[in-house]
Amino acid sequence: MALLDRLPNPIGRADVTAAVRECLEQDAVPAFVAAMVWGYGRVGYGPFRTARVLTDNPGAPTVLREAAHRVRRDGGPSAFGWLAEHRLAWLGVAFATKFLFYCSQPPATPALVLDRLVQGWLREHAQWRVRLDWHVADYQAYVPHDRQLGHRAWTRAVSDGVPDVRGRGHPPARQPMGRPAAHLGDARYAAGCAGGRTT
């Protein structure tokens, strides 16, 4: 896949955002792979798990393309709900939301990452328990419905100002984004912007 040769090492959010925008209109699979490279980082089983999603689901390219279309047209919560009904084997909430996050585009409500790190952060700092089993109501409550504030969170997350370099060059740290939740006005936004392991 030519896209892999063009991805920088290490890779940051802005790099993935640019890669997704470049290829998404033609093919959602390279966009998915770029998001997974960032999502798995240096974890050795990342390539295997990514390939398994694509090879064990003959309809994966179509599902990924439709999910990307829906997140851009209808917003993150709607796309999450659609993907919950059209699940791909081996693709869970944590990595599905990473893909949706990078496919997000204004003016639709962006998708935010929801993984174990975010779940733990919300439980510890916001006393809020959110599920990671495709529970659509939880995701709808988690993603901001205020479009302006939601886009501010999304924009901060894809900017190079947020520490986010991960993946192939540096070992992942097990902590959320270093900004206090109050900086974005709501713990949910800070946790969603952290999305996975950051350094």
Round to whole Å and give the CA distance between 86 and 82. Answer: 6
Q: How does pLDDT run along the chain (199 residues), one tens digit per residue?
A: 677 778 888 888 889 999 998 888 789 999 999 999 999 988 889 999 999 999 999 999 999 999 999 999 999 999 999 999 999 999 999 999 999 999 999 889 999 999 999 888 888 888 888 899 999 999 998 887 545 545 565 556 555 444 343 433 333 333 333 222 222 223 333 334 334 333 3
Asked if residues 152 and 163 have their Cβ atoms less than 8 Å apart, the reply is no
Burial class of residue 107 (count of CB atoms within 10 Å of its CB; 0-12, 13-18, 19+): exposed
- Note the helical H segments in the chain: 2-6, 13-23, 28-40, 46-55, 60-73, 76-85, 93-103, 116-126, 136-142, 147-158, 187-194
